[in-house]
Each structure stands twice: as structure tokens, then as C-alpha cells.
């Protein structure tokens, strides 16, 4: 709905003709009016063409999918997107640590559980480790073919359910990836580093959020919904682990990078660097020299999600 709303707002911003301002507006021929209507129609089609696949687009490898494709099939040339922000795939991709993926040895009940817990609709599949990706599985394919009642009529073989993934470098411009996703009818791309390993993952939602800001739905957790620093009380803040370090420095008027051996960009990275490990959930850390007390409100053994920052 957010994408449709954005398109409607764009349409509403088109200036209307003021028919009372000049006699020359009254002298337009019917052909001019038809041309104007045609231009407006094409404009609407191009706007909806740009965003029509954000949540329903077809994926490569499933020709019978009744979803709306990402690209237009009527030969209409896509105009330059005035909303496209400069940047590369690296700026929007989820890091490797945040990628939800499954091995090719997974069983059907285990895969169903991953879908339920992660609330993802597309999950990459790998052989032995994520650096050997095979493709991805779509929730819809599994549900329609096997069902989720535990009584599948067909023998489950994940290799028979794989769809093709896109592989892109982190340096690819965001606008180029969007066009590639449109051309290939694929919503998911693995980011590959210079050594051929997986560096992260980018989806069509990541690209849309780059344009329009965070897209929050009913499945997002409190930590995922957190879009920035939230002041809970005087000198007490809740901060996502991905909070840019410079934002916190500016708010607290504290130099956090002084005498730091490694270059870090986020609060979570700063905490891990300061203590040389990943802290546990509910662990409280005191940084006396800076007058800070930081508690890990949400996280696991690989990363932090939400932190509480108290200034003494």
C-alpha cells in the first residue's frame, strides 16, 4: 500500500491546467486533448510499472506464477526514475551475518520452521556453507506443492524447488540492480565479494527503502522497526545496533572514536571493538572514561540488535 500511496502522491503533484488564465487554453483542438490524455495515461503506466513488482513480482523460473511482473511487457521504454538516489548495492544490502539461509540437507519440517521463525518468503539455499549458494526456495512453492500440515503427498527434495538467484558485486549502482531485477523478474540478489564469497544479500524491499525510507509492516519486530535513537528518559536512550556512530556522538557530544584502534561505523561495531568480543543479551557494560553504561537489550551470539545507552 505504501508504494501505491507514493505513486498517487506523485500523480497528485502534477499541476492542473488553469483554463481561466488565458484564452489560448480554450483553443486547444481535440487532437491536443487526446494527446494530453495519452501522455497522462503513459505517465501513470510508467509510474505503476516502476513499482508494480515490489511485493508481487514474478520470479525467474516460474512461468506459471500469476503475480504481477516487475517489468512491462508491452515494449514501453522506462523513463529515468527521478526518485533514484545515488549509491551502490553495498549501501543497501544486508550483511552476511544477517542473511537467513538454509543448507541443501534440510528437511521439510525444518524448512517450514525456518519460514515461520524468520517470516521470510524467500530463503537462499546453500551447499555446506553460504559461500556455495545453489538458489532460493519460495514459500508459495512449498505451500502449494507440499502443504504445511505435515502430510505431504510428494517426497520432499529441496533441489527440485530451487529458483535462480542473482549474483551482483557490491559496487553495482542501485539503479542498475533495480533494472536487472526488472529484466530477470527476480526479487533477490546475493552480493559477491572479489574472492567469490557471499558478502550479503539485497532484495527489492531494500531498494525501495533506499528510495522511500523504512518500510514497516505487521511482521517487523520492535528492533527492526527502530529507525533511530529513541529517548526513553533524561540521559537514557534506546539505540539499534546499526545506529551510525556519528549520530550518537553528535547527540551526546562525546568523541567515541578517540584512541580506537579499528575504524567502525555503527554503535554495535563500536561496542564489540571496545570489549574485543560480542556481548551477551542482558549484559551491562560500563565505559567509565566516557561516562556511559550500555546494556544489550536484544541480540544473540552473532550480533546485537537493540542497546540501551545511559549517560552518567
Domain that holds residue 181: 89-212
159 SS3 class: helix
pLDDT in tens, 51-96: 443 333 334 433 344 444 444 444 444 444 444 457 889 888 888 8
114 lies in some domain = yes
Helices (H), the chain: 2-12, 30-51, 89-92, 108-118, 139-146, 174-184, 204-212, 222-225, 245-252, 267-275
Rounded to whole angstroms, how far apart are CA atoms 80 and 152? Answer: 47
> 311 pLDDT band (50/70/90 cuts)?
very high
**Per-residue pLDDT averaged across 1-19, rounded?**
42
User: Are residue 242 and residue 133 in the same domain, yes or no?
Assistant: no
231 lies in some domain = yes
Q: Which residues pair with 127 in a beta bridge?
A: 129
> 211 pLDDT band (50/70/90 cuts)?
low
Taking all residues of the chain, what is their mean pLDDT, rounded to a whole number?
74
Rounded to whole angstroms, how far apart are CA atoms 289 and 308? Answer: 18
Exposed/middle/buried for 268, CB within 10 Å: 0-12, 13-18, 19+? buried
pLDDT for position 304 = 86
CATH number of the domain where residue 263 is located: 3.30.465.10
User: Are residue 106 and residue 186 in the same domain, yes or no?
Assistant: yes
**Strand intervals (E) in 65-215:** 94-95, 102-103, 122-127, 129-138, 166-168, 188-192, 198-203
13 lies in some domain = no
Which of 212, 243, 261 lies at the terminal end of a domain, its last residue? 212
Reply yes or no on whether the pLDDT at 189 is more than 90: yes
Give the cell for residue 255: 568523541
CA angle 136, 220, 65 (to 5 degrees): 35
User: Are residue 142 and residue 255 in the same domain, yes or no?
Assistant: no
User: Are residue 101 and residue 124 in the same domain, yes or no?
Assistant: yes
18 lies in some domain = no
Rounded to whole angstroms, how far apart are CA atoms 25 and 278? Answer: 68
Higher pLDDT, 154 or 274: 274
> 212 pLDDT band (50/70/90 cuts)?
low
Residues 224, 107, 156, 125, CA torsion sign: positive
129 lies in some domain = yes
Give the cell for residue 97: 551475518
CATH number of the domain where residue 171 is located: 3.10.580.10
User: Are residue 102 and residue 195 in the same domain, yes or no?
Assistant: yes
Q: In 10 A of CB 5, how many CB atoms?
A: 10
**Per-residue pLDDT averaged across 201-223, rounded?**
67
User: Are residue 145 and residue 98 in the same domain, yes or no?
Assistant: yes
Rounded to whole angstroms, how far apart are CA atoms 202 and 99? Answer: 10
Determine contact, residues 280/296, Cβ cutoff 8 Å. yes
Reply yes or no on whether the pLDDT at 231 is more than 50: yes
Reply yes or no on whether the pLDDT at 107 is more than 80: yes
User: Which residues, 6 or more positions from 165, have their beta carbon under 8 angstroms from its beta carbon?
Assistant: 124, 133, 135, 136, 186, 188, 189, 190
Question: How many domains does the chain divide into?
Answer: 2
User: Are residue 127 and residue 208 in the same domain, yes or no?
Assistant: yes
Question: Percentage of the chain surpassing pLDDT 70?
Answer: 65
User: Are residue 261 and residue 146 in the same domain, yes or no?
Assistant: no
Phi, psi of 232 (to 5 degrees): -85, -40
The residue with cell 542501485 is: 174
43 lies in some domain = no
Query: C-alpha 101: how far from its chain's center?
Result: 16
Reply yes or no on whether the pLDDT at 47 is more than 50: no
User: Are residue 134 and residue 176 in the same domain, yes or no?
Assistant: yes
Give the cell for residue 22: 488565458
Q: In 10 A of CB 46, how many CB atoms?
A: 15
Nearest C-alpha neighbor of 188 from the set 206, 212, 170, 211: 206
Residues 52, 113, 225, 174, CA torsion sign: negative
246 lies in some domain = yes
What's the pTM value of the predicted model, to 2 decimals? 0.53
**Per-residue pLDDT averaged across 19-35, rounded?**
40
Amino acid at each position: 500500500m505504501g508504494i501505491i500511496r507514493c505513486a498517487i502522491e506523485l500523480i497528485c503533484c502534477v499541476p492542473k491546467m488553469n483554463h481561466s488564465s488565458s484564452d489560448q487554453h480554450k483553443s486547444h483542438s481535440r487532437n491536443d486533448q487526446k494527446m494530453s490524455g495519452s501522455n497522462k495515461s503513459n505517465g501513470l503506466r510508467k509510474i505503476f510499472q516502476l513499482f508494480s513488482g515490489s511485493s508481487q513480482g514474478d520470479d525467474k523460473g516460474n512461468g506459471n506464477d500469476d503475480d504481477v511482473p516487475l517489468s512491462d511487457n508491452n515494449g514501453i521504454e522506462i523513463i529515468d526514475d527521478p526518485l533514484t538516489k545515488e549509491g551502490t548495492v553495498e549501501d543497501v544490502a544486508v550483511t552476511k551475518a544477517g542473511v537467513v539461509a538454509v543448507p541443501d540437507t534440510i528437511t521439510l519440517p525444518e524448512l517450514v520452521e525456518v519460514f515461520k521463525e524468520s517470516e521470510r518468503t524467500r530463503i537462499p539455499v546453500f551447499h555446506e556453507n553460504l559461500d556455495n549458494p545453489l538458489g532460493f526456495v519460495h514459500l508459495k512453492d512449498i505451500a502449494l506443492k507440499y502443504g504445511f500440515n505435515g502430510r505431504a503427498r510428494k517426497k520432499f527434495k529441496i533441489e527440485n524447488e530451487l529458483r535462480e538467484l542473482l549474483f551482483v558485486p557490491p559496487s553495482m549502482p542501485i539503479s542498475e540492480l533495480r533494472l536487472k531485477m526488472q529484466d530477470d523478474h527476480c526479487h533477490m540478489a546475493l552480493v559477491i565479494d572479489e574472492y567469490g564469497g557471499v558478502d550479503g544479500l539485497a532484495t527489492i524491499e531494500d531498494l525501495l527503502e533506499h528510495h522511500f525510507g523504512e518500510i514497516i509492516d505487521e511482521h517487523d519486530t520492535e528492533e527492526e522497526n527502530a529507525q533511530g535513537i529513541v529517548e526513553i528518559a533524561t540521559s537514557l536512550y534506546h539505540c539499534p545496533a546499526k545506529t551510525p556512530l556519528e549520530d550518537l556522538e553528535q547527540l551526546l557530544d562525546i568523541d567515541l572514536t578517540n584512541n580506537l584502534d579499528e575504524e567502525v561505523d555503527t554503535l554495535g561495531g563500536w561496542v564489540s571493538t571496545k570489549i574485543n568480543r560480542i556481548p551477551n543479551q542482558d549484559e551491562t557494560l560500563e565505559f567509565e572514561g566516557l561516562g556511559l553504561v550500555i546494556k544489550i537489550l536484544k541480540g544473540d551470539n552473532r550480533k546485537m540488535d537493540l542497546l540501551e545507552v545511559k549517560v552518567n
